[in-house]
Structure 1
Amino acid sequence: MIDLRRAGPGEFIAALPAVLDVYTAAMRPPADQLSGRQGIMRNHATFPGFTCLLARTAQGATVGFGYAFHGAAGQWWHDVVRQALAERAGPGSASGWLDDALEIAELHVHPDHQGRGIGRRLVRGLCEGRPERSAVLSTHDRPTAARHLYRRLGFVDLLTMFVFPGGYEHYAIVGVPLPLPAPR
């Protein structure tokens, strides 16, 4: 049985070694990027409305995590996505999706535990009871299990084939009005 535990900023920062282990197993980033990723995650814990869920086994091992916060001007992802969405879909669309949004920054499940509904529970748990008008996130723009999960949860494509500045991979920016639709 996997339990979800809500963690505040301090507990999240204390759990960063385990969180980075899950991130590394799920994403397989180059080793030289991990210290930068850790710094980004630590910084995210200071953002307004930060919320985190840790997925843990009965023995206390972290096998998944997700965190989100209230998006705002001055946050890198928010500003980059807002500009791109305004350029492609118009300023009204950008405002409608991002003016009052929960930005799901990271959501990962260790590969040994994928396919068991943990990711779905993490998304639902992060969005549950949030005051924001929408939830938004970026995911690789290819037919992955994550992309399929977000569609099943009601997320729609806002941008596709999007490349972040300095990057090379294609991402989809997706969003869903909150509260999430009831489970099917």
Structure 2
Amino acid sequence: MLHATGAIPPDPREVFVGPIDLAASVDEALAVQAVAFGLTDDEVGVRRHIVLRHLATPGARAYGASTVDGRLVGFGYGMPNDRTQWWSTVVHPYLRQEGNDAWLTDAFVITELHVHPAFQHRGIGRRLITLLTEGVSEPRSLLSALDRESPARALYRSLGYRDLACGVRFPSAPSPYVVMGALLPLRRR
């Protein structure tokens, strides 16, 4: 369909991925996470403070996926691992038990990565995580994911992530997680 100007309108499904000011877009990002991950309003409120605190970490970076009309449909952020941070202290015993605790040193952690369900299976998650880890100074990357076979876990494996510790229990999380690690740069298609 042509606009009145005779131009072809942009495809509303087209998505652009690039760096974002996540602090300025935190509410929009958490709305995507709530839909993609099934969060309650209370959980979103708690995560808002966590995200803002993480973004103050030196080396933290964030990327977003937006439609041509500026709607955020995916985001990811990460930061260099700090063994004293909560996530690291929870996963450390699980990694140690598997002989993989050295992965916590010199690692870039993918803290969150979410794509709105209407935009999944289009390579957006792959672009986000690849850009997040591109050019970081750490030689490896870590992330945690639900400990079940899923498209997300298949994506991570295709990028070179492997299971380092399974059955990881985070306080208040009803399901177990897996900690995965990959050497950087991530595998390309």
Normalised TM-score (structure 2) = 0.89
* Alignment match, 1:111: 117
- Code of the residue aligned with 2:148 in structure 1: it is R
Q: Does 1:76 align with 2:86?
A: yes
Q: Does 1:156 align with 2:162?
A: yes
Displacement after TM superposition at 1:143 (Å): 1.3
Q: Does residue 35 of the first structure (1) align with residue 42 of the second (2)? A: no
For the residue of structure 1 that corresponds to 2:23, the secondary structure is helix
Note if 1:171 corresponds to 2:177: yes
Tell me whether 1:52 sits opposite 2:59 in the alignment. no
Deviations 1:40-71 (A, max 9, x none): 11111011210000101111110000000001
Q: Which amino acid aligns with 2:98?
A: A
> In structure 1, what residue type is equivalent to 2:90?
V
Give the distance between the partners of 1:133 and 1:172, measured in 2 at CA. 20
Q: Secondary structure at the match of 1:143?
A: coil
Q: Is the 8 A contact 2:145 2:153 kept in 1?
A: yes
Q: 1:51·1:67 contact (CA, 8 Å) conserved in 2? A: yes
Q: Is the 8 A contact 2:126 2:155 kept in 1?
A: yes
Structure with the higher fraction of residues in helix conformation? 1
C-alpha RMSD of matched pairs (Å): 1.2
1:146-172 deviation line (CA, Å, top 9, x unaligned): 011001111000011211134331101
1:4 has 2:17 as partner: yes
- Distance in 1 (CA, whole Å) between partners of 2:24 and 2:40 is 23
User: Is there any run of 5+ residues in structure 2 with no aligned partner, and where?
Assistant: 1-13
Q: Structure 1 residue 104: deviation in Å?
A: 0.4
8 Å Cα contact 1:98-1:134 kept in structure 2: no
Between the aligned partners of 1:139 and 1:112, the Cα distance in structure 2 is 20
- Which residue in the other structure is 1:94 paired with? 101
Q: CA deviation at 1:77?
A: 0.4
SS state at 1:14 partner: coil
1:61 aligned to which of 71, 92, 98: 71
Aligned residues: 176
Contact 1:135 1:178 in 2 (8 A): yes
Percent identity of equivalent pairs: 39
Task: Please tell me whether the aligned partners of residues 83 and 104 of structure 2 are also in contact (alpha carbons under 8 angstroms).
Answer: no
**Any stretches of 5+ residues in structure 1 without a counterpart?**
none
Bigger radius of gyration = 2
Q: Which of 129, 139, 142 lines up with 1:123 in the alignment?
A: 129
1:142 is matched with 148
Q: CA deviation at 1:78?
A: 1.4
- Counterpart CA distance in 2 for 1:166 and 1:2 is 34
* Alignment correspondent of 2:8: none
